[in-house]
Amino acid sequence: MSAPRIILLGPQRLRPTLDRAVADAGIEGRIAAVTAGWEEREGEDEELRDHLGGRVVNLDVFQRAEDVFAHDSELFAGMQLRYDTLRRQQELYRQRLAHTLEAARELLRQEGEDELLEVERSSAIEAVRALDAHHLAQVLRIHAAFDEEYRPRERRHVVRHREELRRELAGCEALCVAGGHVAILLNRMRLFDLPQLHGERPIFAWSAGAMALAERIVLFHDSPPQGAGDAEVLEAGLGVHRGLVPLPHAKRRLRLGDATRVALFARRFGPDICCVLDEETRIEWDGQRWKAAEGTTRLTAEGGVEQAA
């Protein structure tokens, strides 16, 4: 199966642009929606329906997962155990990450461009990249063990909902994935393997939706109310789009004027595009490459921000 057309947008709450993106893509029929990241508010999609002229089919992914859990206590217990294991893995990774990142930052802060310093900078950044890769491999191992033991997509109630979702999606021309709680959104979509059901039709996503569809989910906030403000790999995403790290609300969450932090972020996650997705931005995968709308930017290895693609 080839990759679908992917359109990633900035946040839609204050200045929505989804309708323009849908029109530009030539979508005239019904559009399936995943709002599972809103959790219990999943069905409060009136603004989305109005914005798209009433042609939204909400797939009710959150409620479908709740129904599965209510009927399959063994699967629910297994998912709780997986969650606890992933949380413990995240704690251990975070402990190592703080020290590894600080070493890289310290070297990047030092003045000078001599060859020896650059070698050490590169080595320090590679240590961060290696830790990220190790953590992601551990996460994938945990998921593989869960899938092998519980075989979620073979279980009766999951199969029933997958068939219903397949029928709903068959009548839609595209899929949109909204934001909300990224881990909840990811886990509910993963339970039903929604990208496989959707196939090759276009996908529009924003905020947590854009993050959940990536190869890896990167959490970031340079100045949180509490904590160290270190960007961290949370999870393996659904892998629907590749080669890009979505950064929703980046102007609010990242110190884009801090060249050291920007350079470290870009070099750490490169060669993926670290794409700033603020209001009225758009970047699209056309099957061969990413193409950004004017004004959509990316972080650079030099510590700046430039037009994305």
> What pLDDT is attached to residue 106?
93
Report, as an integer, the average pLDDT of 238-258. 95
Report, as an integer, the average pLDDT of 206-215. 97
Count the residues in the chain.
309
**pLDDT of 66 above 70:** yes
Mean model confidence pLDDT for the chain: 95
What distance, in Å, lies between the first and last C-alpha atoms of the chain? 26
User: For the segment 97-142, what is each residue's pLDDT rounded down to a tens digit?
Assistant: 999 999 999 999 988 778 999 999 999 999 999 999 999 999 999 9
| Residue extents of the structural domains in the chain | 6-307
Would you say 104 and 130 are in contact if contact means Cβ atoms under 8 Å apart? no
pTM summary value: 0.94
> What pLDDT is attached to residue 287?
80
> What pLDDT is attached to residue 4?
84
DSSP string, 248-307: ETHHHHS-TT-HHHHHHHHHHHTTSEEEEE-TT-EEEE-SS-EEEPTT-EEE-TTS-EEE
> What pLDDT is attached to residue 227?
66
Would you say 175 and 204 are in contact if contact means Cβ atoms under 8 Å apart? yes
Report, as an integer, the average pLDDT of 279-287. 93
Would you say 37 and 205 are in contact if contact means Cβ atoms under 8 Å apart? no
Query: DSSP strand E in 55-181: where?
Result: 56-58, 174-177
Report, as an integer, the average pLDDT of 185-211. 96
Give the residue among 214, 289, 286, 221 at the shortest CA–CA distance from 244: 214
Query: Structurally, what CATH architecture does the domain formed by 6-307 represent?
Result: 3-Layer(aba) Sandwich (3.40)
> What pLDDT is attached to residue 2?
60
